[in-house]
């Protein structure tokens, strides 16, 4: 499962780069594509919430290592549920907003890959 989540991160990263490029030319297309990919990312985050966080909370006893990342997880879900739908097609700032949003998501993926996934793998191997 962790391998598949990693593969999904890789796909999301590629899509986000494409969306950032698109946003420089047509904000309408970029936002529509972002909404589409946003739904897939949300499904991914919900799966992580359900399957990873429960195991880590139960088994990993050093909360300072993962609590912060899991709290950021709520932020990402909020971003996907609210921020994307608030983007305006005509907004001058849409390129910047999409860039910030993409950077936040990429940072989240990296933290999971570097910290949360290894903890998960360790927890389930014990
Ligand atoms: Fe996540
Ligand atoms: Fe993830």
3-state class (DSSP) for residue 72: helix
**Predicted local confidence at residue 76, as pLDDT:** 85
Q: How far apart are CA 77 and CA 120, in angstroms?
A: 20
- For position 89, what pLDDT does the model report? 77
64 or 10, higher pLDDT:
10
What six digits make up the tokens of 120?
Answer: 């998960």
Q: What pLDDT, on a 0 to 100 scale, did the predictor assign at position 99? A: 94
* 93 CA distance to ligand 1 middle (Å): 26
Structure tokens at 78: 């909020």
95 CA to centre of ligand 1 in angstroms: 24
What's the whole-number mean pLDDT along residues 116-122? 89
Number of domains comprising the chain: 1
pLDDT-based confidence at 33, cuts 50/70/90?
A: very high
Identify the residue with better confidence: 57 or 10. Answer: 10
> How many A from CA of 100 to the centre of ligand 1?
17
Kindly indicate the confidence band of residue 21, based on its pLDDT and cuts at 50, 70 and 90.
very high
C-beta neighbour count of 103 within 10 angstroms: 12
Whole-number Å distance, alpha carbon 25 to ligand 1 midpoint, is 29
Question: Which ligand sits closest to the CA of 110?
Answer: 2
Range of the domain at 77: 2-125
* Res 11: pLDDT: 98
**Res. 26: pLDDT tops 80:** yes
| pLDDT per position as a tens digit, 49-104 | 888 877 888 887 777 777 777 788 788 888 888 888 888 876 678 999 999 999 99
Which ligand has the minimum distance to the alpha carbon of residue 8? Answer: 2
């Amino acid at each position: 499962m962790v391998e598949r989540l990693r593969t999904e991160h890789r796909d999301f990263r590629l899509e986000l780069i494409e969306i950032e490029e698109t946003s420089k030319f047509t904000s309408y297309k970029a936002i529509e594509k972002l909404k589409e990919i946003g739904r897939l990312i949300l499904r991914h985050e919900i799966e992580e919430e359900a399957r990873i966080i429960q195991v880590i909370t139960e088994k990993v006893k050093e909360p300072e290592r993962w609590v912060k990342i899991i709290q950021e997880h709520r932020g990402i879900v909020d971003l996907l549920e609210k921020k994307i739908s608030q983007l305006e097609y005509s907004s001058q700032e849409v390129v910047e907003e999409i860039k910030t949003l993409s950077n936040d998501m990429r940072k989240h993926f990296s933290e999971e890959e570097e910290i949360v996934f290894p903890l998960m793998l360790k927890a389930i191997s014990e």
